[in-house]
Amino acid sequence: MKKLDNKVAIVTGAGSGIGKAVAIAYATAGAKVVVSDIDETGGKETVASITKAGGDATFFKADASTSEGNAALVTFAVTTYGKLDIACNNAGIGGEMNLAGDYSLEGWKKVMDINLNGVFYGCKHQLTAMENNGGGVIVNMASIHGMVAAPQSAAYTTSKHGVVGLTKNIGVEYGPKNIRCNAVGPGYINTPLLENNLSPEMLAMLKDKHPIGRLGEADEVAKLVLFLSSDDSSFMTGGYYLIDGGYTAV
């Protein structure tokens, strides 16, 4: 029997990078997976990868930055598969790079809407479905910058600190209801988010900041998320778990 047999899972931002790796890991472990992303092409490619390997997945296009989008996603999962057991709130952006005092209001709002408000909206609707199902597990994607600063990315740092705080509150409030909630804090990972926003020189500099001497891989993060989503972590909730190649230890 696989770790997630008979489980139904949602993954947001699953069209690429960490989200795609998590969706594939869930499916490989036996879960039925609702792959969600604003990028329909990427999301459907993730579904194709899962089904080609013999897994069960379906795509639902949703804007993770809105309450309506998250509500529709949860409704789709429950309507399609009958319940919701697991959710990984992974959708996020890096945002503009600027000093805090020069950060645009529009840029600030965009990062907060996706990285923090979107996670809250997701949790809000997922928690209701999980209560109706007698329990569940939520894993929120934070970052090392839920602990340390990201210079010239005040919105990103603030949003990820917020995700950690939200996760702790949910862990405390919903433990008695058989719902666990944890956050993952990746270091810099080889993903399109990095490739599309940073120069080769910046990427090389970031690599040097990790004592392990390289960037992380999405499937390494997915293994931690899978652990936190399974019964292997049944006594863990309200936590924030770093997977950062030693970045925050320096």
Q: What is the DSSP string of 31-47?
A: -EEEEEES-HHHHHHHH
Would 140 be classed as within a structural domain? yes
Question: What integer pLDDT is reported at residue 195 of this predicted model?
Answer: 77
Q: Give the residue numbers spanning the domain of 104.
A: 8-243
Mean pLDDT on 63-83? 99
Give me 58's structure tokens: 């379906």
Give me 155's structure tokens: 């919105």
* Per-residue model confidence as pLDDT tens digits over 190-236: 987 677 777 889 889 999 999 999 999 999 999 999 999 999 999 99
CA distance 49 to 96: 32
Block residue for tokens 């139904």: 8
Give me 96's structure tokens: 């503009």
Q: Which of 156, 188, 240, 241 is catalytic?
A: 156
Mean pLDDT on 26-47? 99
Would 249 be classed as within a structural domain? no
Question: What integer pLDDT is reported at residue 61 of this predicted model?
Answer: 99
Would 222 be classed as within a structural domain? yes
Would 2 be classed as within a structural domain? no
Question: What integer pLDDT is reported at residue 60 of this predicted model?
Answer: 99
Would 248 be classed as within a structural domain? no
CATH number, domain at 24? 3.40.50.720
Question: What integer pLDDT is reported at residue 166 of this predicted model?
Answer: 99
Question: What integer pLDDT is reported at residue 4 of this predicted model?
Answer: 99
Percent of the chain with pLDDT over 90: 94
Angle between helices 118-132 and 154-174 (to 10 degrees): 20
Give the contacts of 164 (CB within 8 A, at least 6 positions apart): 142, 146, 147, 183, 185, 240
* Per-residue model confidence as pLDDT tens digits over 119-151: 999 999 999 999 999 999 999 999 999 999 999
Give me 1's structure tokens: 């029997």
Question: Is 156 annotated in the active site?
Answer: yes
Within 12-156, strands assigned E span 32-37, 56-61, 86-89, 136-141
Total structural domains within the chain: 1
Asked whether 122 and 181 are in contact (CB, 8 A), the reply is: no
